[in-house]
Amino acid sequence: MVITRFAPSPTGNLNIGGVRAAIFAYLYARHKKGKFLLRIEDTDKERSKNEYEENIIESLAWLNVSYDSLFHQSEHLERHTSVLKKMIENNTAYVSKEIPTEPGGRTEVIRFKNPNRMVVFNDIVRGDISMDTSDLGDFVIAKSLEEPLFHLAVVVDDWDEGVTHVIRGEDHISNTPRQILLQEAIGAPTPIYAHLPLILGPDRSKLSKRKGAKSITEYRDMGYLPEAIFNYDAFLGWHPGGEEEVFNQTELIERFTLENVQKSGAIFDEVKLAWFNREHIARLSPEAFIEYAKQFLSTETLEALTNANLLEKLVPIMRERIQNFAELRELDTQGEFSYYTTRPSYETERLFWKTDTDPIKTSERLKKTQDILTSIPEDNWCETIVKETLWPYAEEAGRGAVLWPLRYSLSGRDKSPDPFVIASIIGKNETIQRISQAIKQLA
Ligand code: GLU
C-alpha cells in the first residue's frame, strides 16, 4: 500500500507554493487508494509556533485535503533518543567533543559516522541521482540525545509511519543522500523519492514570501475558491496532457501520476490563478455562489437584495463581473448593486449621449422608448424580449442616442450592465417609472 506524507515545519503560514507538496502527495496517495499522512515537524522549539500549525491545519481543511493520520514529530522524541543510543552502541554515530564557535556554544554533539561512499538513488521525477557523500564529513545528527536534528527525525518517522513515497520539493534533493545513509545505518528501508520542480516567480527567480507567495488563508480571504487553488497547485509542475485544464478534486485524483511531473521549474502566475478561479466560479451552482456572495456583500446590500427577491436573479450578473469574491465587495462598496433596489438620483446632463445635449430630443427619445416598452406584456418581460422589442428603434434613431439615456435613467451610473439586463431585473413597472423620472428631470 502506498503511504505518502506532508511534513511541514510550523514556522510560517502555509503558502501557495508550500501546499503544492501536500497536494501532490495527497493526489498520489488517493489515486493509489493508499494513505496520506500529515506530520507536523515541530522539533525546532524556537521556530515552531502553534499559530502556524493551526494555519496549516485550517488551510488543508479549507482545501479539502484530508489526511488519514496526524503526527507531531516532537511526540516521537523517546523513539529518536533510543535510535540515537543504538547508533552510538553499534558505532554508526558518536558523541563528538566540539570547540564552541560562539560563546555558550555546544561542547558536545552527536555525529554520524559517515561511510564516505557514493550514494545513488532513483528519483521518479529526475531519474538516477548520485552523490559522493564523503564531502559531507561526519555530519551532526543531534545536538544531544534529547535533541535530534532534521535528518535523523525525518528518517526515523518515515520508517515508523511506513511511508513508501517521499514526495517533496526539489530543495530537499541534496538532503536525500544523507537520509539514505542514515536509513542504511539504522536498518530502515529506503522509500521511493519524487522531488517536485522548484516553483519560480514570473521572473524565473525562486518564489518566496517576499515575492508574491501569499498564504492560502490570504487567498481564501480574497475570495478565491478552494477548488481553484487546488486545481492551480496541481498544475504547478504537472499536467494530465490534453487541452483541458479545469478539474475538480475527484477528476484530478483520477488523472494524477508521478510520471507526468515535469523536471523544469514551474512558473507561478497570479494571472493564470485568477483565470482558474473565474473558471471555478463559473462552475458553482447558483446556491453555492450565493453562499460565497453572502460572505462578501455588506449587510445592507444583502438585506436590500433579499427583501427585493433579487439575489438569485443577480447571480449571472455578479458571476460575469468578478474573478474573485473580494471584487464583489469592491463593486458593492462602489454602489454597483444599489440601483437594483433603489431608484437612482443623478444630474440631468448625465442623460445626454455625448454631444447630443438637446433636452427635448433626449426626452422625446425616452418617451418613444417608454411607449415601446409599455407595449410588452408584463408576463413576457425578460432581457431577450426587451432587447428584441427595442432594437429596431435603437438601430433607427442611433444606438447610443437611445440606449445611453435609457441605461442612465435605470442605473444613474456611467458604467453598469446594459439596460436590457437592468430592465429585466428591476421589472417592467419600475423600468417605466425610472424613465418617467428621467423625462421629468429633462422638462
Ligand atoms: N519539514 C520539512 C520542510 O518543511 C520537510 C521534510 C520532508 O518533506 O522530508 O521543508
Residue 122's pLDDT is what?
98
44 C-alpha to ligand 1 centroid (Å): 12
Task: Decide the pairing of beta strands 118-123 and 127-132.
Answer: antiparallel
Mutation choice for ligand 1 from 6, 20, 150, 172, CB with most ligand atoms inside 8 A: 172
* Residues within 6 Å of ligand 1 by CB: 7-9, 41, 154, 168, 172
> Rounded to whole angstroms, how far apart are CA atoms 141 and 149?
5
Mutation choice for ligand 1 from 4, 6, 9, 175, CB with most ligand atoms inside 8 A: 9
**Secondary structure class of 12 (helix, strand, coil):** coil
13 C-alpha to ligand 1 centroid (Å): 14
pLDDT digits (tens, 9 = 90+) for 112-161: 999 999 999 999 999 999 999 999 999 999 999 999 999 999 999 999 99
pTM exceeding the 0.85 threshold for the entire prediction: yes
Residue of the nearest CA to atom 3 in ligand 1? 8
pLDDT digits (tens, 9 = 90+) for 166-211: 999 999 999 999 999 999 999 999 999 999 999 998 888 888 766 6
Closest ligand 1 atom to Cα of 8: 4
**Secondary structure class of 285 (helix, strand, coil):** coil
User: Which class for 359: exposed (0-12), middle (13-18), buried (19 or more C-beta within 10 A)?
Assistant: middle
Tell me which residues of the chain have a pLDDT lower than 70.
Answer: 209-212
| CA-closest candidate to residue 231, choices 169, 196, 293, 278 | 278
Spacing of C-alpha 210 from chain mean position: 17
Dihedral sign, Cα of residue 306, residue 307, residue 313, residue 317 = negative
Residue 208's pLDDT is what?
74
155 C-alpha to ligand 1 centroid (Å): 11
Residue of the nearest CA to atom 7 in ligand 1? 7
Residue of the nearest CA to atom 6 in ligand 1? 7
**Three-state secondary structure string covering 401-422:** HHHHHHHHHHHCCCCCCCHHHH
Residue 212's pLDDT is what?
67
